Amino acid sequence: MRPEINKLLEMRDKALLGGGKEAVDAQHSKGKLTARERIELLVDLNSFIEIDMFAQHRATEFGMDKRVALGDGVVTGISRVDGRAAVVIAQDFTFLGGSLGEIHASKIVKSIQYALSIGAPIIFLNDSGGARIQEGVDALRGYGDIFYWNVQASGVVPQIAVIAGPCAGGAVYSPALMDFVIMVKKGSFMFITGPRVVKAAIGEEVDELQLGGAEVHAYKSGMAHLIAEDDREAISLVKKLLSYLPSNNMDDPPKVESNDDPERRDYELNDLIPEDPNKPYSMYEVINRVLDSESFFEIHKFWARTAVVGFGRLNGYVVGIVANQPAYLAGVLDIDASDKIARFVRFCDSFNIPIITFVDVPGYLPGTRQEHGGIIRHGAKVLYAYSEAVVPKLTVITRKAYGGAYIAMGSKHLGGDFVAAWPTAEIAVMGPEGAAEIIWRKELDKAKTPEEREELLQKFTKEYRDRIANPYVAAARGYIDAVIEPSETRPILIKMLEYLLTKREVKVRVPPRKHGNIPV
């Protein structure tokens, strides 16, 4: 064999070793896979074309001239995942802790640019100690470039981040700019400042997982959309997520053959809403009974649980589901639920995914905590996102649709294409009891005993409910397109969805603008 070929083969072997056998063993001993093992699990057999395998840093300070690894601590390339092209970036913790320097960063930027030019999703497997300390400002510049290109790719190709190890400091902002973040429960964390700095700055004692582990971000901060037990599960979640997404914003999401009858009626839905309007029921019942069987894939399951968002299928077509959850704090809209809904609606709109909204909402959450936290600002995002979305928007009001929350949740007034209500719907400015307290206050104040007052209140509440809080007043004005039997929700949604697939945007003419100014 020619020596040049031998040299190439030797270099390849060297590159495959990353930071060396010892570091690979250390990675395994933590229950983590290496970058290449993760890629192997993710991509279709023989589909991976590696780019920049022989890249090397050019730093010389602090002994860096002696610390070189081919690939510079990140494996990048183009592959197929379940038959569709995808760009993969996997940080290699075995070399200098996957830290990011100039060349490492430029490989990532090149990958994002490939994704943009071929219209393929980006999957970024993060496992890094952050900015490579020895490379100083070159490392910072690298992050800046990545953030810039994450933003250029936003809304053009889906971007999925897996956090499979440390992700600290400014490094967190690349995943934060992407569409979905999947965190591995063991050994992964995300925070701006680590425990040591926290202790020095404010005296708080906290460990890495308490500060920014997968569970914290799944339940409390909302940073993690999905969480996985280990690397393997995280990768299977990436594949599942991709199965609902188009490759880019010019494509439709992948349709599958459904073996669930599009005409299937579910008569149990007719009895789902309790007689007592204050009794809860689970919106999951509605979602799962209406969608193609077992197609619901929930996003942000543990965060802001008064709202539910996720992907599903109707007769094989991908849809985005947005719903209130009456089983959790009556399905009230609060700051986090508003953020969760607004972001999901905008994602669906960017990637041609029709939105199905199920409404049972008593309003926005009252109180100083919410008001001082900016519920006005956050609630406005929901209005903005729905008003701006041009994908088909179909809404079903199952029970309460009160006040501003009625308008926000995919109403006709924000461009809902088809708004249906179940006969149990209550559409009003506020709940009947509160309304009766206000409009019949004088009559109620005349009551001589508390019992008499309660009796009167019940009478007025019923009167308000009968006259106002039902779907027929809104239907009489055309604000509700149809009052439907709950059992026929699936066949009706499927038919309307299929009509709306050819929807063309009928828009009020607005002067050209760069972009609107969503109240972020």
Which candidate in 136, 155, 222, 404 is catalytic? 404
Spatial contact of 401 and 441, defined as CB atoms under 8 Å apart: no
Q: How far apart are CA 99 and CA 140, in angstroms?
A: 11
By beta-carbon proximity to ligand HXC, the closer residue of 170 and 519 is 170
What character string, x for contact with ligand HXC (CB under 6 A) and - otherwise, covers 234-263? ------------------------------
By beta-carbon proximity to ligand HXC, the closer residue of 99 and 106 is 99
In whole angstroms, the minimum distance from the beta carbon of 99 to ligand HXC comes to: 3
In whole angstroms, the minimum distance from the beta carbon of 97 to ligand HXC comes to: 3
Residues 9, 68, 133, 137: which binds ligand HXC (CB under 6 A)? Answer: 133
Q: How far apart are CA 251 and CA 352, in angstroms?
A: 8
Residues 6+ apart with CB under 8 A from 479: 411, 412, 413, 419, 427
Candidates 43-51, 127-135, 211-219, 502-510; binding stretch for ligand HXC (CB under 6 A): 127-135
Residue 156 has φ and ψ, to the nearest 5°, of -105, -50
Q: How far apart are CA 356 and CA 106, in angstroms?
A: 40
Q: Look up residue 411 and give its amino acid.
A: S
In whole angstroms, the minimum distance from the beta carbon of 215 to ligand HXC comes to: 18
Total residues interacting with ligand HXC, rule: CB under 6 A? 15
By beta-carbon proximity to ligand HXC, the closer residue of 36 and 132 is 132
Q: How far apart are CA 37 and CA 465, in angstroms?
A: 61
Which candidate in 170, 316, 415, 434 is catalytic? 170
By beta-carbon proximity to ligand HXC, the closer residue of 59 and 235 is 59
Task: Say whether 83 is catalytic.
Answer: no
Helix 432-439 vs helix 450-467: crossing angle, to nearest 10: 110
By beta-carbon proximity to ligand HXC, the closer residue of 98 and 326 is 98
By beta-carbon proximity to ligand HXC, the closer residue of 168 and 365 is 168
Which candidate in 69, 131, 405, 421 is catalytic? 405
Task: Say whether 203 is catalytic.
Answer: no
By beta-carbon proximity to ligand HXC, the closer residue of 170 and 404 is 170
The reply on whether position 131 binds ligand HXC by CB under 6 A is yes
Site for ligand HXC in 65-124 (CB under 6 A): 96-97, 99
Spatial contact of 188 and 164, defined as CB atoms under 8 Å apart: yes
From residue 61, give the alpha-carbon distance in Å to each of 69, 94, 519: 16, 20, 45
In whole angstroms, the minimum distance from the beta carbon of 230 to ligand HXC comes to: 17
In whole angstroms, the minimum distance from the beta carbon of 179 to ligand HXC comes to: 20
By beta-carbon proximity to ligand HXC, the closer residue of 130 and 253 is 130
In whole angstroms, the minimum distance from the beta carbon of 398 to ligand HXC comes to: 45
By beta-carbon proximity to ligand HXC, the closer residue of 143 and 296 is 143
In whole angstroms, the minimum distance from the beta carbon of 175 to ligand HXC comes to: 13
Residues 6+ apart with CB under 8 A from 98: 35, 73, 74, 91, 92, 127, 128, 129, 165, 166
In residues, how long is the chain? 520
Q: Is 308 exposed, middle or buried (CB count within 10 Å of its CB: 0-12, 13-18, 19+)? A: buried
Spatial contact of 399 and 432, defined as CB atoms under 8 Å apart: no
Task: Say whether 169 is catalytic.
Answer: yes
In whole angstroms, the minimum distance from the beta carbon of 96 to ligand HXC comes to: 4
Which candidate in 169, 187, 194, 310 is catalytic? 169
Task: Say whether 201 is catalytic.
Answer: no
Spatial contact of 348 and 354, defined as CB atoms under 8 Å apart: yes
Site for ligand HXC in 158-197 (CB under 6 A): 166, 168-171
Candidates 132-140, 363-371, 417-425, 500-508; binding stretch for ligand HXC (CB under 6 A): 132-140
Spatial contact of 325 and 305, defined as CB atoms under 8 Å apart: yes
- The radius of gyration of the chain's CA atoms, rounded to the nearest angstrom, is 27
Spatial contact of 116 and 152, defined as CB atoms under 8 Å apart: yes
Helix 375-388 vs helix 335-350: crossing angle, to nearest 10: 20
Spatial contact of 45 and 80, defined as CB atoms under 8 Å apart: no
In whole angstroms, the minimum distance from the beta carbon of 221 to ligand HXC comes to: 19
What do you get for the CA distance between the two ends of the chain, in Å? 62
3-state secondary structure (DSSP) of residue 457: helix
In the complex, the residues that contact ligand HXC under the rule CB under 6 A are: 96-97, 99, 129-133, 140, 143, 166, 168-171
* Active-site residue list: 169-170, 404-405
